[in-house]
Each structure stands twice: as C-alpha cells, then as structure tokens.
Structure 1
Amino acid sequence: MAKTRNTGADKAAKAEAKAARKAASKERRSQLWQAFQIQRKEDTRLLPYMIGAFVLIVAVAVVVAVLSGSAFTAVMVILLGIVLGALVAFIIFGRRAQKSVYRKAEGQSGAAAWALENLRGKWRVTPGVAATGHFDAVHRVIGRPGVIFVGEGSATRVKPLLAQEKKRTARLIGDVPIYDFVVGNGEGEVPLAKLERHLTKLPANITAKQMDGLESRLAALGSRIGPSAMPKGPLPAGAKVRGMQRSARRK
C-alpha cells in the first residue's frame, strides 16, 4: 500500500515538474518575443540584417546541395542551411539587442554594477564596497586574475576610493594581484560595453580554490557604505541581457 502511495506521489511530482518546465519555457519565449518587438521598433536595421543573413546562408546551402549530386545529401545540406541561417539570425538579434542595452545604460549611475552582476563565468562580484555621496562607487570582483576593483562615476572622486580599497585589501591578500580601473569614455577609462571583454583579457593568476579563500577573507572587510548610498542600477526590469541570451541558448 505504501509503495502504491509512493508511486502516486512520484507521478504527481513528475507531472508538477513537467508543468513547471512548460510554464518556464513559455515565459522565456514570451520574454524573447517582447525583447524582439522592442528591438525591432528601435533598430530599423535589425530585420534586414537578420533576413539577409538567413537568405544568404540558405542560398549557399542550396548551391552546395545542387552541386552535391545526391538527393539525400542535398536535403540534409538544405536543412542544415536553414538551421544555421536561423541560428545566425538569432545571434545577430542578440548582439544588436545587447549593444542597444549597453548604449542606454552608458553614463547612468549603477551601470557598471549592473554589467558586473551580469558577467558570464565564475566571477565573485561585490557591488558598492565604497561610494561617495555623489553616487560614485567602487565594486569588487574576485576572479582568476585576482582581485579587481571597478570604479564608476567621476574619475577625480573615484580614484582616491580605488586607492583606499587597494591599500586595505592588500593587507589581507598578500601577493595576489590587484587590478583597478574606472568605467567611462574618458582617457584611460574602460567603456561600459567593453567591460566584460576587458576583464576576460586579464591573465589567470590564481586557481578557483584560491578564489574561495579570497572571498572568505575579503568578506571580513565588508562594505563602508549603507544600502541607500548604492546606485540602484540603470535599467528597467525587462532589460536583462544575460537572461535573454541564456533563453536563446536553451531554444
């Protein structure tokens, strides 16, 4: 009897999980469609680029299929061309949508924190470890390169904050490399759209295990600002680029 009840419970749990997956998939498709509609209205070149890429790849596939001389090979090549064309068109959409979001976020308070929290990979981000009353902020990132401090706001106000954070952090971490830079479009600054690329180009100096140890040690430093002093971020709730890209990969 107990076995029958367990079997029934398992079936109910599986059915519930399946329904949850369907609902999540439907929500992702809805979000992607909404993002596409918004981008299409703002970016007049989006559809021509997507359609052009799709047509070009399919045309090449058809030419290869005709030259193959085999009916089976021709069908497979054309199908592959259609799939590849759709994939490239979708990648174009994702890239142009990402650029649009970064362009809107450029110069707004909290933009760097938002970009860091959406990084791909095993980065440990602590936003707002220091800030000024003018919403200038310093964010800490722990990764394979070591410890990275990212400042946003006025360079003249942020640079002293960066120097202070580097000094008090160096006391705890010894020889682990420390990097720092300011996000912006001025001389020597890193543009917001190139922030992730800039981080990934840094050399790998420590292991993932060392990252865990660093995170534990640096947690003791805490933050010297209150939650009200931290910029809340520049973007509306619907503008989560990484979430959109993850949805695209699941499709």
Structure 2
Amino acid sequence: MADAKKAKAADKAARKEERAAKKARRKQTRSQLWQAFKLQKEHDKMLIPLMLLSVIGVALVFFLVGLLWNGQWFMLIMGIALGVMLAMFIFSRRLENSMYDRVGNEPGAAAWRLENLRNSMGVVWRTKTGVAATTHMDAVHRVIGIPGVVLVGEGAPHRLKPLMQQQRKRLTRLLADVPIHEIYVGDGEDQVPVKKLQNALIKLPRVYRKDDVYAIAAKVEAMDHVGANPNSPAGLPKGPLPKGAKMSGMNRRARRMSQRRGGQS
C-alpha cells in the first residue's frame, strides 16, 4: 500500500514537473517571438500596416459575407481568427526574407538554409553540410531527397567544380542509377540565391518516394561511416603504411602467419 502511494506521488510530481517545463517552453517561445517582432519592425516599416490590413481586411470580408444570411457576428469571429493567422504568416515570411538579405552573402548561409529545409507531405530532405571544403571556405553540401542526390556548392565556382566532381564520382560508385544534381549558390549567372534554394530543390524532377529517400540516405550515410575511401582493402590498419613497407611483402607475411596458425590448430 505504501509503495502504491509512493508511486502515485512520484507520478503526480512527474506530471507537475512536465507541465511546468511545457509552460516554461511556451513562455520562452513567446519571448523569442516578441523579441523577433521588435527587431523586425525597427527596419521593416511595412510590417505593422500589412499585419493590420490582413486582420481588418479578412474580418471585413467575412462580416460582409455573413450579412447575406444574418450570420455576420459568427463570420466576424472566424474572419478575425483567420486574419490573425494570415498576419502571423506575413510576419514569419518577412522575417525569413530579411534574414536571408542579411546573411545571403555570408559564408555558411547556404548550409544554414539547407539545415532548415521544411519537410512536407510526400517530401523529405536528408542534409549533410560540409561534405567537402577548401581553405578558402568554399564548401559542398549534400541533400538527399525525392529528386535523388543534390550537391550544393557554396563559394567560388572555379574552386567548387573539382570538389563537386570528386563527390559525384564517389556517389556514382555507390548509387549507379540515382540521379545526381548540382546547384551553385550565389547571385551570378546559373547560380541560385540562398532565399530561393528550397524552391530550386522542389523544382527538380520528382523521382523517389519518402521511403526510397530513407533507403538511399542510409546507404550514403553508411559510406560516410566507412570513410572517405570505401574501396580500401579490408583488414588493413587505418593510417599511413610504415615507412618503406610494401603491400606485396605485407600480404605474404599475412599468408604465412595464417598458414602457421592453421598448422598449429
């Protein structure tokens, strides 16, 4: 009986702690949204007028529609609710666009964008940033999704091309029939701006379903774990060979050792 009471008290305390944690997270989220709103409205003078216009405009349209069947007050409430949702959507999109404008030309902006790709119905993305890089902060990122594999280059195109070719060869050995696309991020010709990167990915031909994407990603990630050179002979120690050592000599010694062990057994 005492154990049951203790278990019940512990369960009650755990639920109370969980509710407190959820409340703290909601409070933190509201605080972050408010801070983001204050920062955004300082340099976006059209933000508040557009948000107010969306709330008032949608509410007015719903109110007028409700007049047709004497349900204007019910429709007004619905209009206000939908107007608030539209205002929040406008705020989030303008905040997102302003962030792209600020970080668009900074190194790592494309990686940040790819890490925040939005999955949706039937669409999934598996991203790994910085699969190859140079000392000049040029980088190649890899995205696996419904179009296949997409290599995204961020930096100077003439330095990125050898990296892209290297990654393409590496992936082709593993995924012979999977399409491999290349996208170069930037504002130049044949390049894609950071803010339009997800749209560029979505416009690629849809070849696979979500389950196929997970299977392809599992194979590629397994290759990543093996190392940069998955074709290295099994059983060899990692790292450089001893100075002056030859593969043929090492193989002969390994065979002799195996024969001796077989004879002893």
TM-score by length of 1: 0.83
Render the CA deviation track for 1:203-229: whole Å, top value 9, x for unaligned: 3323134234333333246569xxxxx
Partner residue, 1:2: 3
Name the aligned partner's letter for residue 210 of structure 1. Answer: A
Indicate the SS of the match to 1:205.
Answer: coil
1:111 matched to 2:116 = no
CA contact (8 A) 1:128 1:223 kept: no
CA distance in 1, matches of 2:227, 2:48: 47
The equivalent residue for 1:232 is none
Mapped pair 1:37 → 2:38: yes
Distance 1:152 1:209 in 2: 25
Q: In the alignment, what sits opposite 1:66?
A: 67
Structure 1, unpaired ranges of 5+: 225-251
- Residue in 1 that maps onto 2:216: 211
Structure 2 stretches lacking a partner, 5+ long: 230-265
Distance apart, 1:169 and its partner CA: 1.5
Q: What are the superposed Cα offsets for residues 144-188 of structure 1, whole Å, 9 maximum, x if unpaired?
A: 221111000111111221111101221111211111111011111
Corresponding position of 1:175 = 177
Query: Aligned AA for 1:110?
Result: G
Is the 8 Å Cα contact of residues 169 and 218 (structure 1) preserved in structure 2? no
Question: Out of 160, 163, 170, which is 1:158 matched to?
Answer: 160
Runs of 4+ in 1 over 6 A off after TM superposition: none
* Counterpart amino acid of residue 63 in structure 1: L
Q: What's the CA shift for 1:40?
A: 0.4
Change in Cα spacing, 1:201 to 1:9, as seen in structure 2 (3 Å) is same
Could you tell me how far apart the structure 1 residues matched to 2:54 and 2:214 are? 43
2:182 aligned counterpart, secondary structure: strand
Q: Structure 1 pair 190/222, CA: closer, same or farther in 2 (3 Å)?
A: farther
Of the two, which has the highest radius of gyration?
Answer: 2
CA contact (8 A) 1:129 1:222 kept: no
SS in structure 2 at match of 1:107: coil
Cα distance in 2 for residues equivalent to 1:182 and 1:221: 28
Cα distance in 1, alignment partners of residues 21 and 183 from structure 2: 43
Residue 254 of structure 2: aligned partner:
none
Alpha-carbon distance, 1:92 to partner: 0.7
Between the two proteins, the alignment pairs up a number of residues equal to: 221
TM, length-normalised to structure 2: 0.79
- Asked if the contact 2:141/2:152 (under 8 Å) is kept, the reply is yes
Query: What is the RMSD computed on CA atoms of the aligned residues?
Result: 1.6
